[in-house]
Structure 1
Amino acid sequence: MVPLSLLLLVVTALGCVGMAGALDGLWWVIPVAATVLTVLLVTGAARWLRLPSALVTLLGLAALLLALTLVHLNDRALLGFIPTGGTFTAASALWAQSGDFVSRQGAPYGPDPGLSFVLCVLVGLVTVFMETVLVGLRTAGLACWGVLALLLVPALTLPGSVSTPGLAAAALAALALLAGSRRWGATRARRIAPTPGGGPRALLVVAGVLAVVLLVPSVMPGFFNGAFPQGSSLTSERAAGVGPLRAVGQDLRSDERARRFSYTTSDGVAQYMRLLTLSDFSQDEWFPDTENLDADLTRLPAAAHAAVPGGTEVTSKVTFENYTEHWLPAPYAPVDVTGLGDDGWGFSPRDLSVHSSAAGMSGASYTVTSTLPHATPDSLRRAPSAASDDALAPYLKLPADRPQAVADAARQYTDGARTDYDRALAIQNHLRRDFRYDVNAPLAQGYDAGGTASLEKFMATHAGYSGHFAPAMALMAREMGIPARVAVGYLPTAPTTGADGARSFPVGTGDSHAWPELYFQGVGWVRFEPTPGVPSTPDYAPENAPDPAGAGKDSSASATPSPSSPGQSSGRPSATSSDPAPPGATPTGPASEQPAPPEQHSPAFQIPWWLLAAALLVPLALLLAVLPRWLRGRRRRARVRAMQDASLSPQRRANAAWDEFRALAEDYGVSSRVSDTPRVRARRLAAGIPGAHAPVERVLADLESASYGAPDTRWRPQATPEDLARVRDEFRHRASRGRRLRAAWWPASLWRHRGSRHPGAGPRR
């Protein structure tokens, strides 16, 4: 059982390699290792005692409870390791704390007592499962599911966390389980000889598995970057059901920083390149309207000038590089588009988005003239309310399943604001100030952008990306009677200078973005920027504007942190994301949800880790040292009892004496040949103990009579326990001190001789 326990230890360690991608640092290694070692030592000892398999599993679970108590809950346990009612209450609190920590923090996760507890529970249960199915049920293939369970932890937590080394370690762990189980007898059926070509076949299977895991997902649409089971899409096609907001998240999480297009502008200023808008929030996934398009692009100028009265015109020349979308990127609002022909194009009269019935425009170029809204704080503040305009009614419609938290936040943020502009500005700045940017947390926690269901969790965690911030502000604006919609496109980018000295603005997948557009009478649709980390807000919507809801109020009464909360950034987005979390940002949220500082940053251990490790490892080391001696004595006593048990057959009693004689010789380093007959073997083993000649002869005579025919039915073995005691005394007397110590504390027969029968021995009845 020792080799199998060591195999499980190695396999579990390899399986945990993949988890490291979702965890920041190695703070979790010591508690997890202590938990796994405790489980394997207890279950291994129970297997040596040949306890029933079901009982071994129960002992494994008990060992898991002991380890969790000692490492995480010692201050709530009797004597530091005996669980009580308070221990389970503290465990429940730790479990809940881990959920709060994960909801507030972004992966990869740093040290946290609750998360450390959850990891130990998970890995401990997986260890018990693998031990049960591998050793107890002898089904190594089923044990491989434990390795997969460990691999799924990072895969479902952080995109891209399942790295190639983690995947390779998991594959190696599975192969080690299969090979080790056959080597050490943990399979239901063992082959007599290796299968011809087994080595090349195994390599072929491994190569096939890796090809499926690494290559097949890379050409499937709708997946984001990362190893199995996350996949990676090398195409820009979207899987069915993936809306524009979720597509933004996929682009931002992708490691494929493909350039989609580049453009130049007549005024040399980078622009927000808008693709489409979302205004119908009643469905589970939000999509743009493609049914009411106008195929006559000659009517586009009139529609644009009506939507943006008195705007400033700018001309942009766009060149596609790797672009397969159906929507045309252009600054709002496009007035004229030339260079792409007239066939297959249409525009939305409502939002002026330009659509193509076909994709695949890579290599093409076009010129677009746009009229930019002219907005100032004064013009927006003077704008009359548009809530009574029937034409804008669709942009005021609220979904029936919208989260109540959105409405509550809208009323709180705008308390004291007198105009629609002041309300919009307050909503924007509260979102930028009190929420944090995290593109990974929504996916890991199951609220990726795309519908009202995602906004409910977003309002609770205060963490998301532009696909959450934009619709949150749009719905809050509608709650306040301000027409609003969500635009999807690309952020302005830094310019590059070509060989000819011309400046252009390259746009790639990492520049994907979403933002809200609000309508003001006499100005038109105006962009706001609620996503924290985006370099700046529009000139007409300053981030440092006074907060009408906070003037003259006690900041502690607010449901959100003070304006000084971290989370603001004035720098340009990083290369990994267009609107990333600002450096050093920390999670913020309602004051009532913020944990006390000592709990948030407390270490995983309540007392020094080395003291806990010593308290755990020293008793285990003593147990490991004493266990072989105890097991050997237990086996010796069982054989002596068998020799004296008159209810057993004479053959069984004689075999018990012979087995103990051979075990004594092996303990003291005396061996014989496998081909020896019992008589020759007895003489070889007893050659060094002439003082025990008579006891050995009686043991041998009993064995031969029992094996080859007793004189009559009344025959009984003549050897006694005293004969074996005399043999042991002779071995001890003639052995060196080191040999005596090894025989007592590390008996060789315990590992090599398990009562196997000699040649010619009869059946044990």
Structure 2
Amino acid sequence: MPSAEPSSRRAADLLLTAGVFAALIAALLPLMRVVRPTGWLLGTLVIVAAVLATGYVARRFRLPAVAVSLIEVLVWAAFVTAVFFRDTAFLLVIPTVETFREIPDVLSAAGEEIALGVAPLAPSGPLALLIVGATGLLAVVIDHVVLTARMPLLAGVGLIAVSLIPAIAVPAEIDVVAFALLAAAILFLIRTDTRMREEPATTEATRATGVSATAVGIGAIAVVVALVATPLLPQPTIRPGSGELGPGPGIDATLQLGDDLRRPREVEVLRMRSDAPTPPYLRATTLTEFTGAVWEPDSGRSYPLDSAEALTALPVDPEIEVAEYSTTVEIRNLNSTWLPVSYPATVIDGLDGVWGAFPYNRTVEARQGGTQGQDYEVTSSVPRPTLEQIRARSAGGEGVRADTLGLPADLPPIVGELAAEVTAGAASDYDALLALQSWFRGTDFRYSLDAPVEEGFDGSGAEAVAQFLEVREGYCIHYASAFALMARTLDMPSRIVVGYLPGTSTGDAVEFQTVYSVMSGQLHAWPEIYFDGVGWIPFEPTNGLGQPTRFSPETSAPGETADGADAAPEASAPADVPDAVDPDTGEPLTPDAGTAAPDAEVDALPTVAVVFAVLVVLGIPLLVRDLRRRQQVSGARAGDAAAAWAVVQDTAIDLGIPSPVSESPRALGSRLVGEAGAPSEAMGVLIGAIERASYAPGGRHGFGQGEAMATAASEVRAGLLAAAPPARRILAQLVPRSLIIRPGSLYAGAGRGASRPAG
């Protein structure tokens, strides 16, 4: 049988246990932005509840702290074994040698899923095990710190650190709900533990004077810091190392761009303007070697940017026209070693730091420094062949590297088969590529950032490309990879470029050049094909983005194709892209021509949402105060005189009437009757009850007067509110001061200079 224990101690332990449960769940809420809430969420709730319940029961038997924690660990181990390792366990819950041999492989698989996955992750069994198991162990630790060591503040620090991990992994806006719940839970733990340490007071109303006000003040300061100060801090940036970057304002050159394209938060990475007929794409790096799993960034010798070997003239046939354009780029929030430049760059001015250029692909990389804060101008010399000239040339020729035609041995047959089928009957290599481009941009394909994940594939491996060609839903990586591989099956040299779309017009102009804003979500990949005597020609197969690459015939008007359609004025960059793309449908969201931004239809939903949120926030104190008053009246009805008297004290504090600790209940009651409009008869009932509770031996509870006390408390409150000026009455109900100022505290005794507040 458990040892006898005061009921107050049991109640406090139960409250602390509930608070620990709430705090743990609140700390894990941000994780749902990174990992989709599936079965792991239920498992987490169950294991935390089981561990904490075990600890609570064990403490009722007055077991040593070590024994309590050991029992909790046994419960944790049994739960994890039964859920994740039951096939190798003895009696489903007892791990065996085979179970322990299996654990490293499972944890390794979970780590690989975290390293290579894309947020939000669809968790597999290993990742679910990692989350559930780690949370269960965290519950054991926090339970010991709070209920055994009695250090809730230390536990709060640990919980806050846990809650920050998802935000560090995937930068996003502050999760206000999760933060508020975690802050409330931690303050509740501190408050409950503080009350347990205090000496019992005569009445509930005067217990723990000032503690609630201090706790709420700390919480208010934390909310202000989180919501106001934090957004003003610099955004985290990821500095590139080996080319493998996580989420953030950077560039992943391994062509696993899901992290970048599905960032939860859009940031402006750069602004640019150009005198080109259409804003050019900005390349960062190129990828040629395909391993069968990923496209590897090109490597080679770089030359100092100011050297003669860095950006030499392109080997273009003399009859091909070359146009020169200037593009100005201002980096706003991009931390990368690769410099976004228009192609093919011949001169770059205005850079700070030490930079090197790769003549082969016209990319520029930092040798010392980075892109953040750079403001520079790129001069590009763009080949502009006519339709007849490009059709007369074959894809390939001298000067291309062998790896531009390389294909993996296990390339799925569907890639080559579809390439041959789509290009059957093409009169030239260029016509074959146009057929491929039109096929990808046709109605059979759909642009989607989510479909690849939902279908269970991502990245740009050969198998992923094959599945993309079957599902026919994906984003730029899949389109570019499929196009480049299909071109190689037709013996055409290809590579992939990683860079940025031209962005969205800001409506501003500098030197008659439109300024474009490029967001992090406009990181893009597109294929290029090499043509003898012309160079690398880009194509845009991604459905819903930009315009297809086309060349004008020599006999047509400038900027017009043989069929009269608008042509991309420069072949070195895919044509202009829409201002926005619907991530669900892939369709361009370009506003109607001639429609000015101020005349666009205004979406009232954000305004309504803000107004609703403000009303909800304003209504929280009223709701909390009402719930508290109902509890007090319920306690009074049960015979608790202190609860009934607390109704009077809280109402006085709400109205700004002083309630100092030095004033007896009879003196305060007389003053409220004489000066604040309280009914004398009801006040007499409450004064008599609180005096009996305070001075009669063991007389805290009223003797059969519960209903009378509850009625009297409600009447006194109603009388005080009715006698107060309307403005003060409304303010008392909307902003109840009693939520942060306790009766008998220093603040409760500091009134506004009069018992009856002035209107």
- TM-score by structure 2 length? 0.48
Structure with the greater alpha carbon radius of gyration: 1
- TM-score by structure 1 length? 0.47
